Amino acid sequence: MEHAINTNQNTAKYDFAIIGGGIVGMATAYRLAQRHPNARLVVLEKESAVGLHQTGRNSGVLHSGIYYQPGSMKAKTCREGKLSMEAFCSEHSIAWNQCGKLIVAIDETEVPALDRIFQRGLANGVVCRKVDRLEMREIEPHAAGVAAIHVRETGIVDYVAVTNQLKKILHDRHQAVRLNTTFLKASVAKNEVQIETSSGLIQAGYLINCGGLYCDKIMQRCGSKPPVKIVPFRGEYYLIRPNAWGLCRGLIYPVPDPSFPFLGVHFTRMIDGGLECGPNAVLALGREAYDWKSIHVSETLATLCNPGFLRLAGKYWRTGASEVYRSLSKAAFVTALQRLVPDITAADLTPAPAGIRAQAVTADGKLVDDFLIVHQERMTHVLNAPSPAATASLEIGNAIVQSLPQGM
């Protein structure tokens, strides 16, 4: 696909339109620009800057890929994506650091689950090893627990800095990143996609939906029924005061619950030197409702009427209730943290901005585990890109570009 021209004063024409200026959309645009240097592309972002939602509100971890089902898209793109991300950051002078991660079994009952993660890590080619209590203390002197996996290659980075760098590269290549531009709807007509936005009509040869928390809605507005629905789970964090930074050198994580791999508060060293802890996971009362005071009534009602969510909630209401309790009670949050690091106290914590995970749920109430990307005529929809999609973004972008039909 080659140069597109503006044939009409009101309708801009592009080869590719990408919805969403989060890290997945920007990485996809970057890979497209690499693969098709003569194509014209546009990123449509409704906010006044890129990376303001999931991308700008996450833990900033460069995941190793230890948790994911071997052979899954998550496992493959996380492993490859971590290397690509590290190389990208080094090339563009963005700070990153392999600070290492300890996954801790608090007591003997958690050791079999720890072993299963270790086997998964080996199957995925992760550089990791099991350590006993003594060695754990050498790595993280304040960590509790009886055994751990040490993943030396896990790192940290600032994903907003990466996303802004991607934007700069696109800009330098004369590609368009249109901020304050909301995608409204699209339809395929003849050999192109007609796209209505808040700032006018666009024509594109191909549309890629990387709309994060709104990806299912966007697919609907493209005239198709999404096979899954997004349920927004808010994760709340606390910053740790500088006097307690010595309690964690790198990353300290619990053994995850396989049904909810994203649950379990942890300690995260940040690339700016700070330390944070969290997140928990509660149902957000709106896709961008970042605290309990923000309520988007119609979005909340839609979630509460979603049969998939109701089935999920019916099965796991106890887990949900304890997460809500931890959200409302700082003392309960601190107790969860003290399982990992007993010396942490409530006085060490100050509230930090929350993030919201776009988790796809099926109609029969299952959390979609792997990344989910659906292709249609002249359109691709990224429908599930939760963690580790920031780590994996450059390779998710690659996979999307490689999967486009011949001639695109």
Task: Supply the minimum distance, in Å, between the C-beta of residue 182 and ligand FAD.
Answer: 4
Q: How far is the CB of 200 from ligand FAD (least distance, A)?
A: 13
* Least distance from ligand FAD to the Cβ atom of residue 407, Å: 26
Which residue has the closest beta carbon to ligand FAD? 22
Q: 89 Cβ partners below 8 Å, 6+ apart? A: 95, 96, 157, 162
Using a 10 angstrom Cβ sphere, with 0-12 exposed, 13-18 middle and 19 or more buried, the burial of residue 340 is buried
Nearer to ligand FAD among residue 205 and residue 355 (C-beta) = 355
Closer by beta carbon to ligand FAD, 306 or else 387: 387
CB of 126 within 8 A of CB of 66?
yes
Which residue, chain included where needed, has tokens 């549309």? 207
Nearer to ligand FAD, 220 or 376 (CB): 220
Least gap, CB of 210 to ligand FAD (angstroms)? 5
Output 46 or 269, the one with its CB closest to ligand FAD: 46
User: Toward ligand FAD, which CB reaches closer, 197 or 306?
Assistant: 197
Bridge partners (DSSP) of residue 203 are 13, 194
204 token code pair:
């594109």
Q: In angstroms, what is the minimal distance from the CB of 21 to ligand FAD?
A: 5
Q: Between 85 and 147, name the residue whose CB sits nearer to ligand FAD.
A: 85
Cα separations in angstroms, 382 against 12, 19, 85, 206, 225: 24, 10, 20, 14, 14
Q: Measured on CA atoms in the order 34, 396, 353, 242, is the torsion positive or negative?
A: negative
Interface with ligand FAD by CB under 6 A: which residues? 19-25, 44-47, 52-55, 57-61, 63, 182-183, 210-214, 218, 235, 279, 355-357, 385-391
Write down the least CB distance from residue 327 to ligand FAD, Å. Answer: 13
H helical segments located in 286-306:
297-304
